Amino acid sequence: MLELHKVQWRRGGSDFRLFVPRLVLKPGITLLVGRNGAGKSSLLQLLATAQFPTEGEIRYDGLTVDRDLPSIRSQIGFVPTGIELYEQMKTVKLLHYLAELKGGAAQGELEQLMEAFHLTAYRTSKIKTLAQGVRQRIALAQAWIASPAYIFLDEPLNALDSLERLHFTRFAASHSRGRTIIISTHELNEWEAWADRVLWVDEGKPQYHGTIREWSEGLSLSVWSGTIDADTYRLLDPARILTVRPEGDSFQVRILGSEVPPSPQFEKQPVTTEDAYYIRCRSITQPGNVR
Ligand SMILES: Nc1ncnc2c1ncn2[C@@H]1O[C@H](COP(=O)(O)OP(=O)(O)OP(=O)(O)O)[C@@H](O)[C@H]1O
């Protein structure tokens, strides 16, 4: 469990300020969401001890960085965006090297990770010869070395193809028990089935932290879907349209609306995690649900 208490951080070279009054992050998968520049990467860097708060404290199951930094770091797996791997090393050598930095891997652990991340075929390939998606899989695999208690992933699905994305979301879910995994992502629907909680930050401050179920409940707008003709389509508010697909002379539309259907052809739809994000971003001026 991670506990943040009055954490503040000012990023040098910018006006950006992160402020987290109080936050408790529990084991399981927490999706860290927010607009570009909201502070997701900054928060992950603080949690991963790549940066330190200017004020306040982060506790890792009771341990603090001023007293217990090496033992905290031995329990962290971190994948920042744009991670650079040693280009000249071979995959297996790099994983062994990173495992040594972490104090060593268990017997057979690296082979299992290579298998789980579909890296076996690349075990003796130099990193510089590998496609971006394969490099990303190596970066993700190394985060699991030595079975850390805390895993921080910044946009982990970047560069992965659709099959690998599905494979990785499943892998993360099946390896989340007893681990606090924080994942910064813009792909909310891909994580929907696997995540436990959502942490939404905006302008450096948490706006919502709670279960993924509650994230999509009690919202100010509903989601509607219907097939309509061109005249009805023209009357819709374009800012509220989520998706539109032409079907002959008609349009299949998914749209945000009040409790009343935008027109009689519309039927109310379940709100997805991503819909909830759009709705919450629209109502950002209203007080959030911070826990
Ligand atoms: N290397 C840097 N130097 C100076 N300012 C930076 C740097 N990196 C980020 N920033 C600024 O810090 C703020 C927070 O950025 P951060 O990367 O944490 O946001 P984010 O939520 O991860 O965004 P994104 O979704 O685009 O990745 C932004 O205002 C950004 O412009």
ipTM of the complex: 0.95
Quote the pLDDT of residue 104: 81
Pocket lining: 178 vs ligand 1, CB cutoff 6 Å: no
> What's the average model confidence in pLDDT over 204-209?
97
How many angstroms does the Cα of residue 269 sit away from the middle of ligand 1? 35
Quote the pLDDT of residue 35: 95
* CA 58/CA 76 separation, integer angstroms: 14
Pocket lining: 285 vs ligand 1, CB cutoff 6 Å: no
CATH topology of domain 2-215: Rossmann fold (3.40.50)
Quote the pLDDT of residue 136: 96
Quote the pLDDT of residue 28: 97
> What's the average model confidence in pLDDT over 209-230?
96
> What's the average model confidence in pLDDT over 132-153?
96
pTM value surpassing 0.90:
yes
> What's the average model confidence in pLDDT over 139-153?
96
Pocket lining: 262 vs ligand 1, CB cutoff 6 Å: no
Where in the chain are the domains? 2-215, 222-270
pLDDT in tens, 113-138: 999 999 999 999 999 999 999 999 99
* Cβ burial 245-266 (10 Å sphere, 16+ → b, else e): eeeeebbebbbbbeeebbbeeb
Query: What does each C-alpha distance from 266 to 67, 102, 217 come to in angstroms?
Result: 59, 56, 20
> What's the average model confidence in pLDDT over 207-216?
97
